[in-house]
Amino acid sequence: MLNTGDTAFMIICTAMVFIMTPGLALFYGGLGRRKNVVSNMMNSVFIMGLGIVLWVLFGWSLSFGGNTGGVIGSLKYVALHGIDLGDIFGGAEGTIPTYVFLAFQMMFAIITPAIITGSVAGRMKFKALFIFIALWSVVVYYPLAHMVWGEGGLLGEGWLKSVDFAGGNVVHISSGVTGLILALLLGRRQNYETHEYRVHNVPFVVIGMGLLWFGWFGFNAGSSGAMDGLAAHAFLTTAISAATAMLTWIALDVIKSGKPTLVGACTGAVVGLVAITPGAGFVPVWSAFIIGGLVSPVCMFGVKLIKKKLKIDDALDAFGCHGIGGIYGGIMTGVFASSAVNDGVKSNGLIFGETSQLFAQLLSIAITIAITTVGVLICAGITRIFTPLRVSKRDEQLGLDITQHGESAYPSFTGLD
């Protein structure tokens, strides 16, 4: 039965999740080099258009329109055909219009591919990125959304019974692993080992982080689907994990260099948000302190391993923060999940003496990585038929703002970059 309170709450959460993508544009724009700030921001902005069009045309139907083998939906709701204004999502037990849940999930389909772009900053052609994101949404995102959240999905309701409250597998692991593979396919930026890549606009990073954190409350709390105690629980675990991770990253900065950095504080908050996402509505409130407190050293070490030791140019740390943070968060969900918090958990976590949920989480993470890896290679191969993935050396040296978009973020600046 339709509940106006739930409906209003979910519409607000939908708008909050939407603002995360402009927030990510600012976050990535600030982290990158001055000559690529327009490019880094455009890489998020264009997905706001592409993601909505694809989702309405067939993304919703492929993700939530029935069930085909537990892997994908169907095409019965193409262009939302067959969905009426008065339809309630979940049938007689539902409380919100199908249109509202559809719109809420649409925002996830926008922010997820935008995360990928952090790994390829400064060297991927815009044409190639546009084609790749369109293909990736169909080949990777929609199937994963169905497998985890859809009716009879292989990883959720179906065979495995793993849990993912708001997108550890679907959003963060898929985008992070995709970014890592693309970084390997593209190769490192020119002079990667000899030049120091500095953050060019710290205020942009702070504003971006603030918008992301604000939107993340809607991201996680809204995943309850109703204005209830579970939504409040997810809101609180989200706040605690982000805050604890921020403080831990600040402490690590002080230990490492003797000074706390603002960029480090922002990064800590983001990885704390990533880590709690899969378990926000499944784990006890107290566990959010542990999940947030430990994710910062895990991701800090991961970023150092990837960039310093393995020499992989994950330019803005999409894999280092979202991929590693998402994997860690999924595992911690298997450790702390509690049926007392959410009866959607089929068995309690490892800390409560049971192992099956942890096993399900580990297997779901492995399957997600495998599906994503194969999907990325397919999408990259198809994209290469139409255009090279990487810009020319000259275009990279001049900067992607001018060479790809014909714009400059700071047209009056004449200094070196």
* Residue-level pLDDT at 195: 76
Which residues are CB-contacts of 79 (< 8 A; sequence separation ≥ 6)? Answer: 56, 57, 58
* Residue-level pLDDT at 209: 98
Q: Are 351 and 284 in contact (CB under 8 A)?
A: no
SS (H, E, C) 129-156: HHHHHHHHHHHHHHHHHHHHHCCCCCCC
Q: Hey, what CATH class is 4-402 in? A: mainly alpha
* Residue-level pLDDT at 416: 57
* Residue-level pLDDT at 340: 96
Mean per-residue pLDDT of the chain:
96
Taking alpha carbons only, the member of 110, 102, 114 closest to residue 73 is 102
* Residue-level pLDDT at 193: 79
* Residue-level pLDDT at 327: 98
Whether residue 92 is predicted with pLDDT greater than 80 in this model: the reply is no
Share of the chain above pLDDT 70, in %: 99
Residue 192 in 3-state DSSP? coil
Boundaries of every domain in the chain = 4-402
pLDDT tens column, 119-144: 999 999 999 999 999 999 999 999 99
Going by pLDDT thresholds of 50, 70 and 90, the confidence category of residue 73 is very high
Cross-strand pairs, 88: 97
Going by pLDDT thresholds of 50, 70 and 90, the confidence category of residue 413 is low
pLDDT tens column, 270-305: 999 999 999 999 999 999 999 999 999 999 999 999
* Phi, psi values for residue 390, rounded to 5°: -110, 150
Q: Which two tokens stand for residue 333?
A: 């969900």
pLDDT tens column, 349-358: 999 999 999 9
* Residue-level pLDDT at 412: 73
* Residue-level pLDDT at 417: 56
pLDDT tens column, 59-72: 999 999 999 999 99
From CA 40, how far away is CA 251, in angstroms rounded? 29
* Residue-level pLDDT at 398: 95
Going by pLDDT thresholds of 50, 70 and 90, the confidence category of residue 166 is very high
Taking alpha carbons only, the member of 96, 102, 68 closest to residue 82 is 102
Mean pLDDT check: name the lowest of 190-199, 317-326, 341-350: 190-199
* Residue-level pLDDT at 197: 76
Whether residue 146 is predicted with pLDDT greater than 70 in this model: the reply is yes
* Residue-level pLDDT at 415: 60
From CA 309, how far away is CA 219, in angstroms rounded? 34
